[in-house]
């Protein structure tokens, strides 16, 4: 029984975190900074994969990423008043080298980096019993739009194709 309670508590904490980490608030910035530190230090392979698969564009040298929550002590200005990193080489922290590494991490609107939509390999499961009346149709519509955007297909066209293939 305690295990079930801990599972649901863990799920509740994870749900709270997933909502807060994308908020444009001080708490959201703080959670993203902790996430960058953790992933940059302990999961560098996750960051490299995310950069290779989804990040596009280039740094515009605005320096705003060096002033999230607090101004970085290694941030300097050159003769043209452009920001630069005083420890740019091997001493530069991992969370700085890779910012932003995914769309959840990006919090500066004028940043030169953008992200391709990440294709999720997990199947989408709808559980109608867990929803209030009427929300299943809305969720089906959202899923259909996602499928159309990713694969150019909808559940209806996929179903019709499979019916034609089976001769029905």
Express each pLDDT in 58-104 by its tens digit: 988 888 888 888 899 999 999 999 898 898 877 888 778 888 888 88
Q: Are residues 18 and 93 in the same domain?
A: yes
- State residue 119's pLDDT score: 63
Residue 19 lies in a domain: yes
Q: What would the mean pLDDT of 144-158 be, rounded to a whole number?
A: 54
Q: Is residue 106 part of a domain?
A: yes
Distances (CA, A) of 7 to 12, 17, 35, 124, 164: 9, 15, 22, 21, 44
Q: What is the pLDDT of residues 93-141, one digit of tens each?
A: 877 888 888 888 888 888 888 888 766 655 444 444 444 455 555 555 6
E strand or H helix at 64? none
For residues 52 and 59, is the Cβ–Cβ distance under 8 A? no
Beta carbons of 151 and 120 less than 8 angstroms apart: no
Tell me, yes or no, whether 14 and 72 share the same domain. Answer: yes
**Which tokens go with 24?**
């444009």
Say how far apart CA 163 and CA 168 lie, in whole Å.
5
Residue 42 has a pLDDT of 92
Cis amide prior to 164 (ω within 30 degrees):
no
At 141 the pLDDT is 60
Number of domains in the chain: 2
Helices (DSSP H) in the chain: which residue ranges?
2-20, 26-42, 44-54, 94-97, 135-151, 155-166
Confidence (pLDDT) at 118: 64
> Does some domain include residue 122?
no
Whether residues 132 and 111 fall in one domain: no
- Inside any domain, residue 123: no
Boundaries of domain holding 16: 2-115
């Amino acid at each position: 029984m305690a295990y079930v309670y801990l599972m649901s508590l863990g799920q509740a904490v994870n749900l709270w975190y997933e909502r807060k980490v994308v908020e444009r608030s001080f708490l959201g910035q703080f959670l993203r900074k902790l996430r960058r530190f953790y992933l940059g230090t302990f999961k560098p392979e996750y960051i490299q994969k995310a950069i290779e698969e989804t990040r596009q564009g280039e740094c515009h040298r605005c320096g705003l990423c060096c002033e999230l929550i607090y101004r970085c002590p290694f941030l300097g200005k050159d003769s043209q008043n452009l920001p630069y990193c005083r420890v740019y080489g091997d001493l530069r922290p991992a969370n700085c080298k890779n910012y932003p590494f995914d769309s959840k991490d990006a919090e500066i609107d004028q940043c030169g980096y953008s992200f391709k939509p990440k294709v999720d390999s997990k199947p989408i499961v709808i559980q109608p019993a867990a929803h209030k009346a009427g929300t299943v149709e809305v969720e089906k519509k959202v899923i259909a739009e996602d499928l159309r955007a990713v694969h150019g297909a909808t559940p209806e066209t996929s179903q019709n194709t499979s019916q034609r293939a089976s001769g029905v």
